[in-house]
Amino acid sequence: MAVIASAAHRDHMTLRSPRKALRVAASRRKRAFDVAVAGLALLAFLPLLMLIGTAIWMESEGPILFRQQRTGLNGRPFRIYKFRTMTVTEDGDGVRQAVRGDARITPLGGLLRKLSLDELPQLLNVLKGEMSIVGPRPHALSHDAEWSRRVPDYEGRFRARPGLTGEAQVLGLRGEVLDDEGLRRRIEADNSYIEGWSFTRDLAIVARTAPLLFGDAQAF
């Protein structure tokens, strides 16, 4: 699946979207903030990145970085970077979502996921313009294909670059999708963020994310 949303659907999605919703992807201030934060964070965390990479290499067989196709702005796929936290590196069709107590997660991977340290390599995606510091969390292509059939407004979340953190995440709407209601609430939060976006809102989400780095009950 090269692109989740068809061109015709994206045109319809844009026409029904308020003009304010389109600013989130076009804002130069948001992009400048992304580049500045990602660049400074990579420099600041370089020793930690090297330490984590070495620990993963020593713990189990497999690549240090996990790469998987996710859906980005306007439904275009990109390859996301994360520290590998599992014994598998699934991609393409049939990606199985991580669940609580997942046997595929390594001991070190469990700690990295709990503290969201496995997400640090996504700062590279931010610098490349594939992601933003704040935006809807990206999902695997196979999950997007399935969930877009279950939630009518699902593809509206592709109006923004996916983010390291986002509205749904700080509201606790992350982790395993257990039912359609939980999925609908997550997508409503994503679309609400896009349609009501402001730079101040981004800063507020970043501030609300900080406490979650010390342990998030929905991170596993």
Q: Give the pLDDT score at 215.
A: 58
Written as one letter, the residue type at 144 is D
- What type of residue is 48? L
Task: Tell me if 78 is assigned to some domain.
Answer: yes
Full residue range of the structural domain in which residue 155 is found? 7-214
Predicted confidence (pLDDT) per residue in 47-96, tens digit: 999 999 999 999 988 899 999 999 999 999 999 999 999 876 666 566 66
- Whether 5 shows a pLDDT value over 50: the answer reads no
Question: Which residue type sits at 176?
Answer: E
Q: Kind and range of the H or E element at 66?
A: strand 65-71
pLDDT tens digits, one per residue of 158-192 = 999 999 999 999 998 877 777 888 899 999 999 99
More confident residue, 100 or 146: 146
Cα 180 to Cα 148, 186, 204: the distances in Å are 11, 10, 28
Q: Is 163 helix (H, G, I), strand (E, B) or coil?
A: strand
Question: pLDDT per residue over 107-166, tens digit each?
Answer: 999 899 888 899 999 999 999 999 999 999 999 898 898 899 999 899 999 999 999 999
Q: Which residues contact 102 (CB under 8 A, 6 or more apart)?
A: 86, 220
* pLDDT over threshold 80, residue 98: no
Q: Is 43 left (phi over 0), alpha (psi -120 to 50) or beta?
A: alpha
Q: What is the pTM of this model?
A: 0.82
Would you say residue 24 lies in a domain? yes
**Does residue 75 sit within a domain?**
yes
Question: Of 46, 52, 63, 172, which is closest to residue 112 (Cα–Cα)?
Answer: 52
Segment 208-218 mean pLDDT: 72
Residue 219 lies in a domain: no
One-letter amino acid of 179? D
How far is Cα 114 from Cα 93, in angstroms, rounded to an integer? 26
Q: Comparing C-alpha atoms, which of 2, 9, 24 is closest to residue 149?
A: 9
- Among 130, 101, 133, residue whose Cα is nearest residue 119: 133
Using the CB atoms, write b or e for 28-55: b if 16+ within 10 Å: eebeebbeebbeebbeeeeeebeebeee
220 falls within a domain: no
Query: Over 70: is that where the pLDDT of 2 sits?
Result: no
d(C-alpha 86, C-alpha 124), whole Å: 21
**Percent of the chain surpassing pLDDT 70:** 81
What total number of domains does the chain contain?
A: 1
Answer whether residue 92 is part of any domain: yes
Residue 19 has pLDDT above 80, yes or no: no
